């Protein structure tokens, strides 16, 4: 049985180049995603540590450390993820 579709060599090269480009873009996106994920984990751990240190303090310093720990632990990772996804929204 003859093949249903025969592509010329120029078309094959074009399709292969497109596939290589798509693979390279996916690889760079995954690398960027792993970096952002690691940054979010680091920010969360830093925030939890700051919040934990606030328990040993008293007065206004304790309030400032607790609020800072909550902001660094919860708000900054969420903002970082949101910025990443908005920057790469065209790739979804």
pLDDT in tens, the chain (92 residues): 777 778 788 888 898 899 999 999 899 999 999 999 999 999 999 999 999 999 999 999 999 999 999 999 999 999 999 999 999 888 65
Domain annotation covers residue 23 = no
> What domain range is 72 assigned to?
33-91
Say if CB 61 and CB 38 are below 8 A apart: no
Q: Name the domain count of the chain.
A: 1
* SS3 of residue 21 by DSSP: helix
pTM of the model: 0.76
- Rounded CA separation 18/39 (Å): 32
């Amino acid at each position: 049985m003859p093949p249903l579709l025969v592509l010329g060599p120029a078309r094959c090269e074009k399709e292969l180049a497109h596939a290589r480009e798509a693979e390279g873009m996916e690889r760079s996106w995954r690398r960027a995603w792993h970096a952002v994920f690691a940054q979010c984990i680091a920010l969360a751990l830093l925030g939890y540590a700051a919040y934990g240190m606030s328990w040993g303090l008293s007065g206004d310093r304790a309030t400032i450390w607790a609020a800072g720990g909550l902001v660094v632990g919860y708000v900054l990772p969420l903002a970082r993820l949101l910025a990443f996804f908005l920057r790469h929204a065209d790739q979804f």
